Structure 1
Amino acid sequence: MSFEHVFKRIIEFMHADPCGNFRLMVGTDSQVHKRHTVFITGIVIQNEGKGVWACIKKVVVPRKMTQLHERISLELSLTEEIVGLFTEERKNELIEIVLPNLYKGATFTMEGHIDIGAGKRNKTSEFVKEMVTRMESMGVEPKIKPNAFVASSYANRYTK
């Protein structure tokens, strides 16, 4: 699907219930295989308590990427690439769907899910500040484990 088609599907999903509580979430996970590394970026629009629409984008790097920082950084770059396609104009188009229904409780947020954790035993904890800052600089709310489920669960499922 082209991004235009994805964006259209998100608009249709939101128009089905313009009073909803919407979370637009983007996150990437990777898996190192014998001769290549697979990256999956998930794009998920959730109407909390009422369902989701989601899709993925797959990128294959033709080598084993064994350096953790390099892999995490590329995961975030792929997430940033998709987030960047949601221009201010497009974000405003999505906000305008819920805007007339704010007094009825409608909401819209956009999140960047980063497949890292801050726990002491987590190998990625040293990268949290760097990656969170990158996501914040794009005007997107960063989420890390255990709240980064688009990257750590949804995208992860398709990396195998």
Structure 2
Amino acid sequence: MAMMRAISKWDDLCFQNLTESGLYLDQVEERILRFIAKDPQGVYQFIIGTDSQVHRQHTKFVTGIVIHRVGRGAWACYRQMAVPRQLTSIREKLLLETSFSQRVATYFDETALRRMEQILLPYARQGSLLDTFIDIDAGIKPASNKTAAYVEEMVERVESMGLYAPRVKPEACVASSYANRYTKQ
């Protein structure tokens, strides 16, 4: 069921997880569809999120893609990318993190999401469901979070896409937990 995509457009978007590497987005989609098909009566959250970490000579960005079968497991993968300079502006880091998530989300457009939903559709009356999110690694509590000043701007960017609901900390677990884990390596 692999869709042929223009490799040149997506060739730098190679993902991995603990068991596989070198996964291009069409292969990621295949894995997601297979995961959903194993339990089409489930409730699913499809989530994309990016986190970054400043290192000595670069800033490392990690974008995670997670299909979460609520209460019953998940399949996930991530992509690493380094910007060859230290980013010190919180706003610039958040803009890049959000942009990287949005770039991946453009692959998982209405057509790709419809393929996921078609597996669940026969079981809709039994409660099957697919929610879609982009996690933003920012929090709304200004006293304890330097990112709070930029939350509204990032939320508006995600909402303007139309297909994904934005989530911020503490709900933004793909950005703040899953992707975060790999930024430190």
One fold, TM greater than 0.5? yes
The share of aligned pairs that are identical, in percent, is 44
**2:55 maps to 1:65:** no
Query: Partner residue of 2:158?
Result: 135
| Larger strand share, 1 or 2 | 1
Equivalent position SS for 1:69: helix
In structure 2, give the amino acid aligned to 1:151: A
CA RMSD of aligned residues (A): 0.6
TM score, norm. by length of structure 1:
0.98
In structure 1, give the amino acid aligned to 2:158: M
5+ unaligned residues in a row in structure 1: which ranges? none
The separation in 1 between residues aligned to 2:62 and 2:142, in whole angstroms, is 26
- Contact 2:137 2:169 survives alignment (8 Å): yes
Q: Deviations over 1:16-53 (max 9, x none)?
A: 00000000000000000000000000100000111000
**2:41 maps to 1:19:** yes
5+ unaligned residues in a row in structure 2: which ranges? 1-22
Equivalent position SS for 2:153: helix
TM score, norm. by length of structure 2:
0.85
Q: Displacement of 1:88 after TM fit?
A: 1.3
In structure 2, give the amino acid aligned to 1:97: I
In structure 2, give the amino acid aligned to 1:89: T
Query: Partner residue of 2:135?
Result: 113
Q: Deviations over 1:81-131 (max 9, x none)?
A: 011111211111111111110001101010000000010221111111110
Query: Partner residue of 1:90?
Result: 112
Q: Deviations over 1:47-100 (max 9, x none)?
A: 011100000011100111111111110000000001111121111111111111
Alignment coverage as a number of residue pairs? 160
Q: Displacement of 1:138 after TM fit?
A: 1.2
The separation in 2 between residues aligned to 1:84 and 1:31, in whole angstroms, is 24
**2:156 maps to 1:149:** no
